[in-house]
Amino acid sequence: MRGYVPPEFVKEVLDRTDIVALVGEYVRLKRQGKNYVGLCPFHAERTPSFTVSPEKQFFYCFGCGVGGDALKFLMLQEKLDFLEALERLALRAGLSLPSQSRDPAWLARRRELEEGEELNRLSLEFFTASLWGERGEPARRYLEERGVSEEIARRFSLGYAPPEEEALLRYLRARGITKEAAVKWGLASRTSAGRVVDRFRGRLIFPIFDPQGKVVGFGGRALVSYLQPKYLNSPETPLFNKRNELYGLYQAKDAIRAAGFAVLVEGYLDAITLHQFGFGYAVASLGTSLTQEQVRLLSRYTGKVYIAYDSDTAGEAATWRGLDILAGAGLEVLVVELPQGKDPDEFLRALGPAAWEASLASALPLLEYKGKKLMAGGLVTARDKLKALRALLPNLACLRTLPEREEGIRLVSRITGLSWEVVRDELLRFTGEEEVTTRLKSDKSAKNKHEALESRACFAAERGLLQALFCRPEILAEVEEAGGEELFTHPPCRAVYSALKEALAAGEDISPTHLASRLPEEALDAAAGILVGEEESPPWKDCLRFLRMNLVRQKRKQLAGKLSLAEARGDEEEVRRCLEELQALVNLERKGGERGNERKGEPSRAARVSE
């Protein structure tokens, strides 16, 4: 629920927010002219089409069409409602939400999340104190056996859950936390007899942080053999969903940006060991099932990922599953092959950092790795070869540039034993299915090529005129005289023009961020596309002249339809009126659509449409 927020407060928050800095926390941006570009966080792509304008404080993706201001970005990126996003931006700007904006439903949700955050904070406090206190000897001994230093253990805020059934519950109860709350937030559970006990007992604790450094859940490793399962995670809560988190990302994000890549491992200790050896770019996927949500999260920080799962059967199967998810998100993927039966933790401790760096240097690109595994299975018959080819086609289709594709086709030809021409033809057939779908969708919006070109030309002129209005609001009177809103055939352009005109009439600021508050939600994405971009627009007078003439042509088409109906009905009076109006429009069109060019005398109703 949005609640009431004074527009001037929203404006102040947006004025104090640097959208480039905000987006840069999630997307790797590069300067390109006046704007910044990067890979879109909202859809998979390999060529950057996501644009951020520091001048207009807007973002827009030319690939998927999503756009808006800093509030819209944060709402989409963090899956927040309006008030949650506004509160977060306000805090960044050193502001507090006005009391009248705090509607009851939102406040209730905020209080619920704050309860969970506080309970997790207290639990982390208890677990870390237990690890470094008298009761933590079993966990400290285990860490020593595994070679985990105290420094790295403290950096990752490792903890210990004592074996008693109510050790944490007693700690929480002394601080006003009920058993019911502990159960709700996954720190306690009910036995079959109905008793409430600590969920984590006799375990080394791995806190799971979100990218902002807030603890959202916990993982626990059993320190005694009778405890099952060996690894136990927090259940799903309003704060924690295992599918959405990557272990160690909070500690690794700066190193990932600096290195230009991330290394994805399976387990907590794999990630921790890599960090301890100086390889701070490692994150763990909380198990073997990599999810699309985790990949989207990782793609905020890098476009290149090495996958270094365990070299056992389960790890290899997980690697194979994860490859397409990573590639599907537009990431460059390489596979680190470790000796049979080794995980990254064991590999590093046995062979050292130089061997690890060598394994990264020899990592196989996705196509080569898949090809190697497929060839190991034996490609004897034509059927085997075609089956292998079809397994590789989705990855081959992800290669965007011509040199990449040609190299990929040669590689797949070598892997499968099929000719270069066969691989190329199968690839064209595979990608052609998508092209047909795209073409069919395009045909619905433009009946033929001529109409599509005409529509694009109109959009370019409408956009150019709007951009001119932002810079020169004094030309509004001339635009109104030429037809005003009727000039704009694209609904988003018309919505922006209407909002701009209303703001000028009210004497308000006409910056894009302020104007966004006047736009309907469904128009915001497209409006952002109008306002963001560096293409040089034609001079505004040329845009206005083009749109005026387009309006005249549209009116002519409408009158031609009316004339046909009047002739069919035998309505001579209506036929006469239509012919007069059509003649006036023809005269107007011949003379460039300028007012005052129509024949002398009282101008016809149709000729006055641009007034």
The confidence score (pLDDT) of residue 445 equals 44
Token duo for residue 438 = 């795209």
Residue 153: domain span: 106-240
Which of 213, 240, 267 is a domain's end point? 240
The confidence score (pLDDT) of residue 440 equals 38
Other CB atoms within 10 Å distance of the CB of residue 425: 12
Which of 240, 262, 285 is a domain's end point? 240
The confidence score (pLDDT) of residue 105 equals 73
- State the total domains in the chain: 4
Other CB atoms within 10 Å distance of the CB of residue 573: 8
- Do residues 455 and 584 share a domain? yes
Q: Are 523 and 492 in contact (CB under 8 A)?
A: yes
Residue 516: φ, ψ to 5°: -55, -30
Q: How far apart are CA 41 and CA 301, in angstroms?
A: 10
Q: Are 305 and 262 in contact (CB under 8 A)?
A: yes
The confidence score (pLDDT) of residue 331 equals 87
Sign of CA dihedral 108, 110, 114, 120: positive
Q: How far apart are CA 442 and CA 440, in angstroms?
A: 5
Residues of the chain predicted below pLDDT 50: 1-2, 433-448, 450, 593, 595-611
Token duo for residue 383 = 């059927």
- Do residues 357 and 408 share a domain? no
Residue 489 located in a structural domain: yes
Q: List Cβ neighbours of 77 (8 Å cut-off, separation of 6 or more).
A: 26, 41
Q: How far apart are CA 521 and CA 66, in angstroms?
A: 12
The confidence score (pLDDT) of residue 182 equals 97
Residue 596 located in a structural domain: no
- Do residues 466 and 542 share a domain? yes
The confidence score (pLDDT) of residue 17 equals 92
Q: Of the candidates 556, 518, 531, which has an alpha carbon nearest to the alpha carbon of residue 464? A: 531
The amino acid at 409: I
Neighbour order of strands in the sheet with 282-284: 282-284, 262-265, 304-307, 332-335, 364-365
Token duo for residue 439 = 């073409």
The domain that holds 186 is classified in CATH as 3.90.980.10
Residue 56 located in a structural domain: no
Other CB atoms within 10 Å distance of the CB of residue 554: 14
- Do residues 431 and 310 share a domain? no
Q: Are 215 and 203 in contact (CB under 8 A)?
A: no
Residue 89 located in a structural domain: no
DSSP string, 484-542: GGGG--SHHHHHHHHHHHHHHHTT----HHHHHTTS-HHHHHHHHHHHS--PPPPPHHH
- Do residues 290 and 349 share a domain? yes
The confidence score (pLDDT) of residue 225 equals 84
The domain that holds 552 is classified in CATH as 1.10.860.10
Residue 127 located in a structural domain: yes
Q: Of the candidates 316, 205, 211, 317, which has an alpha carbon nearest to the alpha carbon of residue 257? A: 211
Residue 369 located in a structural domain: no
Q: Are 281 and 262 in contact (CB under 8 A)?
A: yes
Which of 404, 428, 445 is a domain's end point? 445
Q: pTM for the whole thing?
A: 0.66
The amino acid at 323: L
Token duo for residue 180 = 């019911």
Q: CA torsion, points 482, 488, 489, 490, in degrees to nearest 10? A: 170
The confidence score (pLDDT) of residue 602 equals 35
- Do residues 439 and 462 share a domain? no
The confidence score (pLDDT) of residue 576 equals 76
- Do residues 568 and 463 share a domain? yes
- Do residues 440 and 453 share a domain? no
Token duo for residue 322 = 């994860």
The amino acid at 163: P
- Do residues 409 and 504 share a domain? no
The domain that holds 321 is classified in CATH as 3.40.1360.10
Q: Are 265 and 249 in contact (CB under 8 A)?
A: no
- Do residues 136 and 235 share a domain? yes
Collapsing DSSP to helix, strand or coil, 226 comes out as coil
Per-residue pLDDT tens digits for 529-544: 776 755 555 678 888 8
Buried b (16+ CB within 10 A) or exposed e, 316-337: bebbbebbbbbbebbbbbbbbe
- Do residues 179 and 273 share a domain? no
Report the run of H or E that residue 399 belongs to, with start and end.
none
Q: How far apart are CA 50 and CA 27, in angstroms?
A: 9
Residue 42 located in a structural domain: no
Residue 609 located in a structural domain: no
- Do residues 269 and 181 share a domain? no
